[in-house]
Amino acid sequence: MSCVTSHRHRACPAGFTLLEVLVALVIVCTALGASLRAVGSLMQNSSGLRVVMMASWSAENRLTQIRLGQEWPPIGNRSFNCAQGELQLICEEHVLGTPNPYFRRVEVSVFDANSQQSRIVKLTQVIPNAH
């Protein structure tokens, strides 16, 4: 780099060196990479929350059917499809007796139809005998 020098001032052309530009690019690329990773993580969490919300709706729907339909569910277990939109879900209902014969405990567990190993949500409610 050639500069014009005088006895008081030294004049150099304005601009950045190649090294300064490369360091700036490395910093920007690192920040963009971290941002993309954070956005991907947020999208994955959003999808998981959506599945949990829809599974909760399925379980709440069944418990509401029992309450509003004045149904006295028999003691035992049963499974049924409880899809929400395009999400295929399986609900398992467990009805248990309580010390008070006028009440039953109903547990509704919701599983993904494709992998029934892990439960998405489980809701429990005590239902009174309306009759």
Order of strands, sheet of 119-128, starting from the edge strand that comes earlier in the sequence: 76-81, 89-97, 103-112, 119-128
CA atoms within 13 A on the CB side of 129: 11
Domains annotated for the chain, with CATH where assigned, are 20-128 (3.30.1300.30)
CA atoms within 13 A on the CB side of 100: 8
- Using one digit for the tens of pLDDT, what is the confidence trace for 73-124? 899 999 999 988 888 999 999 999 999 999 999 999 999 988 878 899 999 9
Phi then psi for residue 77, to 5 deg, are -120, 150
CA atoms within 13 A on the CB side of 113: 12
SS3 93: strand
